[in-house]
Structure 1
Amino acid sequence: MSSESARIAVVTGASRGAGKGIALALGSTGATVYVTGRTSAEGDSALPGSVFATAQEISDRGGVGIPVVVDHSVDGQVESLFERVGAESGAVDILVNNAFAVPDALATEGPFWKKPLSLLDLFDVGMRSSYISSYYAAPLMRRGSLVVNTSSFGGSCYMHGPAYGAGKAAVDKMAHDMAVDFRPFDVAVISIWMGLLKTERTLAGLAEAPDSYAELVATAESPEFTGRVIDALWRDRNLMHRSGSVLIGAEIAAEMGILDVDGRQPPSHREFLGDPPTYSAAVIS
């Protein structure tokens, strides 16, 4: 396992939101973080943020931020990303599969057949992109490294409809099955369920309807919280015992004494939203 200051991390979908927060948290430890996403400049998206801005903030915090503009729906761009990582850094210690398409109609009310089929885009940048990034990163993952799929309680409860639920359930099971393949190489794979995050998108929604979200936001996690959990998991001597599991980030944080950026201990929502899945230990080859 490499030292913390020499760690090489790749965080996909890090122009803003959870990916940005995770990248900043890892970069704050002194790590080198490759920041990927489609947004190269402010104004390219309706929401603030870019891969260059995230990378600069990582460097300002004492890490090394490396911005790479990548459309994770294009396999060739992902392959080129990891060719570059291999040439420049030689290995990967932490891969965070966070790139996720958020269709405009995702949170609208109504049954799935009343919503546009564009919701299926999240299978491409989400489920499929997590597989592709892991595929090209695999030869670079050194012993003691960690692959993380970011996910949510939508993998077990009804949340935003069947397209969203299927996408989250898929990356959860993918983590379990990739863990089987990676185990002989001492590489851990987990899926982390995040709570409601105070992302740019959430804060914009709060500004439009403050009364609707106020109670939820009071217990929401910062985007950096999951990055703090990932950092602690990488350093955990029992990491391989957790490999293949779906973990609730807030519960791992409570176990390890990890606080959010404001000093709070975010709550787990297991009681209200359900348990993470457990999978059979059977391996049929």
Structure 2
Amino acid sequence: MNKQRQQVAVVTGASRGVGRGIALALGAAGMTVYVTGRAPEQGGSNLYGHALRGSLEDTAVAITAAGGRGIAVVCDHGDDAQVEALFAQVEAQCGHLDLLVNNAAYIHDQLIEPGPFWAKPLELVRILDVGLRSAYIASYYAAPLLLKSAQGLICFTSSFGAGCYMHGPAYGAQKAGVDKLAADMAIDFEGQGVAALSLWLGPQLTERTKIAGEQHGEQYQAFLADAETPQFNGRVIHALLNDPQLMALSGQTLITAEIAPGYDISEAEGRQPPSHRALLGDPRQQHPARVV
């Protein structure tokens, strides 16, 4: 009997936070996981004067310790050549790709501060470069490798900010943009065994959100009380990848808290994070018209 081929994933922006947690969950499921970040070592990021811990190398080591195979690749997703080199490395070492999680995004320290967009630093617009454009570029180079998989998946980490006002217009445009990338890429992939999905994650329990909660207690306390861990979302992504009905979902924007129970996925001690659909709105439905 032939040994089953190990599944391969790329998770962008995985030095810490959401990307790291998703990557760890995929590693715990036995996957080979390539993780990207701008620097391999600790340091270089802080929020409100607090240094954010974690590094690309730490994430790769933790993936391997969890039962998978972690591979750290230094990659600035604002540099197309580095992204091309990333997927060339995956092809040379593995020959195929099963899963791409487009998670890398530029997050400015003042993103969640109140005030109109013109009163904030212009730098906030960089989320459209590293967050939206970068997701397109990664998907472009990943596509030929995904087509070699028995069942491939591109996931975009999105949020309810795609459908309601959240953190200002740059953030909202990036999230709405990746939802549309998933919808349109799904059409291009039709009949070829690759799905594209955008996932609305709820508030995430990360070091960054913990610090932000301490600074904006009244605003974030209720949300963080029922927040999700990134590992929870990684387990949902892994379940989607291996769902025999995945292609029927392709092109949709899904709320991870809503689909998790169908895969028997919950947080520790059976806690089920709530969907915020009633409070923050519904994912946009794509019109069936096609202009080619």
Bucket of the pairwise TM-score, normalised by the shorter protein: over 0.9
C-alpha distance in 1 between matches for 2:5 and 2:26: 10
Match of 1:66 among 61, 71, 76: 71
The letter of the residue matching 1:247 is L
**Which among 222, 230, 235 is matched to residue 228 of structure 1?**
235
Cα distance in 2 for partners of 1:31, 1:143 equals 15
Point out 4+ residue stretches in structure 1 off by more than 6 angstroms. Answer: 2-5
Aligned partners of 1:48 and 1:39: how far apart in 2? 13
- Does residue 30 of the first structure (1) align with residue 30 of the second (2)? yes
Equivalent of 1:278 in 263, 266, 285? 285
* 1:217 alignment partner, one of 220, 224, 234: 224
Question: Cα deviations across residues 30-69 of structure 1 (Å, max 9, x unaligned)?
Answer: 1100010113111232211111100100011111000001
Shift of residue 113, structure 1, vs aligned partner: 1.5
> What is the Cα-based RMSD across aligned positions, in Å?
1.6
**CA displacement, residues 177-234 of structure 1 (integer Å, 9 cap, x when unaligned):** 0001111311000000000001110112234455553322110001111101101111
2:99 is matched with 94
Identity of aligned residues (%): 54
The equivalent of 2:160 in structure 1 is 153
Give the secondary structure class of the aligned counterpart of 1:149.
strand
Contact 1:4/1:29, CA 8 A, preserved across alignment = no
- Give runs of aligned pairs for residues 120-135 of structure 1, distance below 5 A: 120-135=125-140
Number of matched pairs: 284
Q: Does 1:266 align with 2:267?
A: no
The amino acid that maps onto 1:166 is: A
TM-score, normalising length: structure 2:
0.93
Residue by residue over 1:106-145, the C-alpha shift from the partner in whole angstroms, topping out at 9 and shown as x without a partner, is 1111111211211110000000010000000111002411
Structure 1 residues 8-47: aligned runs within 5 Å = 8-46=8-46, 47=52
Offset of 1:257 from its aligned partner? 1.9
> For 1:77-99, what per-residue CA distance to the aligned partner results, in whole angstroms no more than 9, with x for missing partners?
00000000000011000100000
2:241 paired with 1:243: no
Maintained 8 Å contact 1:39/1:49: no
2:194 paired with 1:191:
no
Q: How far does residue 260 in structure 1 lie from its aligned partner after superposition?
A: 1.8
Question: What runs of 5+ residues in structure 2 fail to find an aligned partner?
Answer: 47-51
**Secondary structure of residue in 1 paired with 2:190:** helix
Q: Match for residue 117 of structure 2?
A: 112
Aligned with 2:173 (options 166, 169, 172): 166
Structure 1, unaligned stretches of length 5 or more?
Answer: none
Alpha-carbon distance between aligned partners in 1 of 2:278 and 2:96, rounded to the nearest angstrom: 39
TM-score by length of 1: 0.96
Return the letter of the residue paired with 2:178: V
Query: Amino acid of the residue matched to residue 105 of structure 2?
Result: F
2:145 and 2:90 mapped to 1: Cα distance?
Answer: 9
In 1, the alpha carbon distance for the partners of 2:124 and 2:273 equals 30
